[in-house]
Amino acid sequence: MLKDYLDSNRALPWKIGSDLIPTESMPLVMGIVNVTPDSFFDGGKHNTPDAAYEHAVSLLRQGATILDIGGESSRPGSEPVSEQEELDRVCPVVEALAQLSNISEDLDNPGNRKFYISVDTVKAKVARESMRLGAHIINDISACTMDPEMPGTVADTGASVVLNHMRGSFGKMQQDFKPYANVVQEVREELLVQVDKLVALGVEKSKICIDPGIGFGKTAQDNIELMKSVDAFLNDGYPVLIGTSRKSYIGKMPGLENSDRLIPTVTAGIVAALGGASIIRVHDVREAKESILYLEALRSYGTV
């Protein structure tokens, strides 16, 4: 079974800016940079632009290809922040990283790998300003549904976009969501509705990435079903992003109640990669990158 997965080259490429990035042999690692006091795993650790910038650079050194900059927590019980506060948190980090990406030879990074900047926001103004400052990707956890101006912003700026599936209200999605009869089918259908809206506005299909939204208004069983079914989303023709890093549903699995969730997160990333995910979104970049490199070694050396 492992050999079948490794030989199948299932993952789909994603166009970021003008670059069409192949991911069939090695998924991209997206490193999480939370410029927040209250994110569920690392809130407050990098809660200033300078600290967030230094953390972002460390993630690049660990192997991240994409940095996902977020200024508003979506954890259960979180409160929305104002547009201006989110701009103040996110924009200095985006601007500093954009300057670094243009002079990558100054980064202690073997091979001077090119990297890309994503902004994790549901606010069109934050997304638009971040794109103006040099971001490449808009990662919207509401799949462009919370701000009516977001679809137009994606189209107008030429951004690549991640459409994350979510049910329920912001900060209360684990309490307010409508249960699923068939989680894989319903998530696919709801994401494709949003995909079609963007395509109708002129967004290039190759720039759209879909995320089934592990942990966003879903039960532990729903999350497990989605993790087991990553390949089901490939039939829609869009690259898939999986973000399961350190999420609370892991602690609801038998025997993992007291886990720090690192090893299960790495395992989940491997499962996602084998299922055909093109991007793995994680807090722990080094561990994720090494696991992916190991999978690539298995493919390259023909050991399975």
Domains of the chain listed by start with CATH number:
2-301 (3.20.20.20)
The backbone torsions φ and ψ at residue 279, rounded to the nearest 5 degrees and listed phi first, read: -135, 135
Instruction: Write down the pLDDT at residue 257.
Output: 80
Q: Tally the residues of the chain.
A: 304
Q: What are 157-174's pLDDT values in tens digits?
A: 999 999 999 987 666 655
Q: Which pTM was predicted?
A: 0.90
Instruction: Write down the pLDDT at residue 176.
Output: 65
Judged against a pLDDT cut of 70, whether residue 286 lies above it is answered with yes
List the catalytic residues.
247, 281
CB atoms within 10 A of CB 277: 29
**CA 49, CA 51: separation in Å to the nearest integer?**
6
Judged against a pLDDT cut of 80, whether residue 106 lies above it is answered with no
CA atoms within 13 A on the CB side of 300: 8
CB atoms within 10 A of CB 258: 6
